[in-house]
Structures are given as structure tokens and as C-alpha cells.
Structure 1
Amino acid sequence: MHKFLCALLVLSCFWSCDKTAAFHEYKSLPKHWKSDSAVTLKVDNLDTLSTYNAFITLRNDNSYAFSNVFLIASMQFPNGKTITDTLEYKMANPDGSWLGTGFGDIKENKLWYKEHIQFSEAGSYTFKLKQAMRRNGDVNPIADLEGIRDVGLRIEKTNE
């Protein structure tokens, strides 16, 4: 009976797969996210006629010491053109409680990156994400940012 329940649980995980995501991948980070280290994700074979919404996904734990996060995100097109954005996201409420979903020490955040975009060029798109956190009054970024466990990218097809 125990084996049957385990098999049923595994099968239910496959049945409940997320159908809205055209792409969703995480990269685990070492203990610290170094300021000079970019997380690179490659996306291939998206429908060039459809529109998509893109999200940056972060998982943080309680050792993250800030209520926000600054990121530098770049998207490189197959032809080599690159678009770079500096982004700021809120990570905690004013009372210090974490935003995002999840139980326990780890929270998952789905952060808007680009809305209604079209990947009009066929080929591979490369996304690079870097942390750009600085302490107040400091010009240099925090060399070793603690508390961000995983960084990812999620692309969802819109219903248009």
C-alpha cells in the first residue's frame, strides 16, 4: 500500500505541471551571490508570433538582510543586440515580513520583468542577471550578497 501511495504522489506531480510557462528555470547560487557573477539563462524555440510576459524569480531565506533588491538584467537577442535594465524590487513588508510565497525559511518571489514582449527573431535569447546591492552611502556593490538561494527566469505566453 505504501508503494502505491508513493507512486500516486509522483504521478500527481506530473499531472499538475504548470501549463502556462513557456520557459521556467532556476539556477542555484553558492552561499553568496558575488557582485561580479551573472546568472545566465538561455531560452530557445519560442513562438515568434506570440506575446509573452517575463518574470525574474528569486528564492530568498531569512539571512537576506534587505527589504529590497537591485538587479541588472540584460536580454541578448539572437542577432547580438542587447537590452539592459536596472531594476528594483520590494522583498519585504514594512513590518519586516517577507513577500513571496512558501513556508518556512524560504520565500519564492515572482517579479515582473517585461510585459507583452514578442521574441520576433528566431533563435536563442540569452538573459543575464546580476545583483547590484549597495549599502547606504557606499559606491561599490556588496561583493558577497547573502540570502538569495536561487535565481530564475519564467516566461509565460499571454492569452492575447
Structure 2
Amino acid sequence: MKWITGIIALVLMATLTSCDESLVDSGTQTFPDMAWPGDDEAVFEITPPDTLNTYDINIRLRNNANYAYKNLWLITQMKFPQGKIVTDTLEYDMANAQGEFLGSGQDVVENKLGYRKEFRFRESGTYQLSLQQAMRKSGSATPLEQLEGVLDVGYTIEKEITDGSK
């Protein structure tokens, strides 16, 4: 009976690891209180696989039903190895007009938000990606102290696989 359990575990592990052949790198910061503090910047060190190929960089965010907004505002910053810094303020739709979340899942919603498409890491060395929520209540200039309902935030780097699909 133990060998059947072992075979099932082995098949499950092989299935899970082969599900996303395009995934090159990822990182996640978890928020234990299920809220993203306004002054908490998620910072990730990225060592690119090469300087020749292009990759898609996505932001991943998981939220629950306590997320009360239709959108998400983020301030992103990419620091290049030789000192260049690119800062963006980005807005993402998180729910449709009926208030239904756009990501996948029920109790926990997984969102894959496009950040850089066909990005080439032209400089060798370590890049730094920082993400900070920039949400405010409607009509207020004061940032939210806590963005409720956010479980974690992170990034993925994905490459094209040989048949041209992702």
C-alpha cells in the first residue's frame, strides 16, 4: 500500500513541476495579517538567466474577499545593475463592473498582472524590483495605511517555450 502512495506522490510532483515550463524565476512576499501596509515595499533581487533572450515579467497578487476595490494602483521600480532606475505608476483592474474579481480562484483569487512584455535583461548582474501599493480612498490624497485583503505579492519571469506558445 505504501508503494501506491509513493507512486501517486511522485506522479503529482512531476505534474506540478511540469505545469509551467515557461517559468524562469519568481518571488513572493506574504502579508501575515492579510493586508498590505502602505509603507511596506516588496523588494526582490533578480539575477537574470541571460542577456540575449526576451522574457515576460508579471506581477502576481493574491487577494481574498476583503479586497474592497475595483482596481489596484502600484508604484514599481526596476533598478538595473549599472545604476539606471525606471519607476512606473501602474493601474490594474481587479474586478468587473458587477464587482466580481477578474483573477482565478474562489476564496483566494490569483491575479497575473502584466508588467513588462518581451523584456530583455541587457545588463549582466543583479536587478532589483520593488513594488509598493499606492491605493487611496476615493476623494482622498492620503494613502491607505493597510490595503485589506491582500495575502501576498510577487513577480514571475516567463520565457517563450520552443513551440512558440507560453
Q: Measure the CA separation in 2 of the matches of 1:83 and 1:14.
A: 38
For 2:31, the aligned partner's letter is L
Q: How far apart are residue 111 of structure 1 and its match?
A: 0.5
Asked if the contact 1:116/1:158 (under 8 Å) is kept, the reply is: no
Any idea what SS the aligned residue of 2:137 has?
coil
Greater than 6 Å deviation, 4+ residue runs: none
Q: How far apart are residue 15 of structure 1 and its match?
A: 1.7
Q: How far apart are residue 5 of structure 1 and its match?
A: 4.5
Match of 1:20 in 2: 22
Q: How far apart are residue 153 of structure 1 and its match?
A: 0.2
Q: How far apart are residue 122 of structure 1 and its match?
A: 0.7
Asked if the contact 1:20/1:157 (under 8 Å) is kept, the reply is: yes
Out of 71, 79, 82, the position equivalent to 2:82 is 79
* RMSD of Structure 2 on Structure 1 (CA): 1.5
Q: Measure the CA separation in 2 of the matches of 1:12 and 1:129.
A: 36
Deviations 1:85-131 (A, max 9, x none): 111111111111111112x3101000000111100111111100000
Q: Measure the CA separation in 2 of the matches of 1:13 and 1:108.
A: 21
The number of residue pairs the alignment matches comes to 158
Q: Does 1:7 align with 2:6?
A: yes
Match of 1:47 in 2: 50
More moved, 9-18 vs 135-144: 9-18
Q: Does 1:35 align with 2:38?
A: yes
Q: Measure the CA separation in 2 of the matches of 1:48 and 1:144.
A: 38
Match of 1:97 in 2: 100
Identity of aligned residues (%): 41
**Equivalences for 1:107-146 in 2 at 5 Å?**
107-146=109-148
Residue ranges of structure 2 left out of the alignment (5+ in a row): none
Q: Measure the CA separation in 2 of the matches of 1:40 and 1:129.
A: 7
Residue ranges of structure 1 left out of the alignment (5+ in a row): none
Residues 5 and 43 (structure 1 numbering): CA distance in 2 closer, same or farther, change over 3 Å?
farther
Q: Measure the CA separation in 2 of the matches of 1:7 and 1:26.
A: 30
Q: Measure the CA separation in 1 of the matches of 2:137 and 2:158.
A: 34
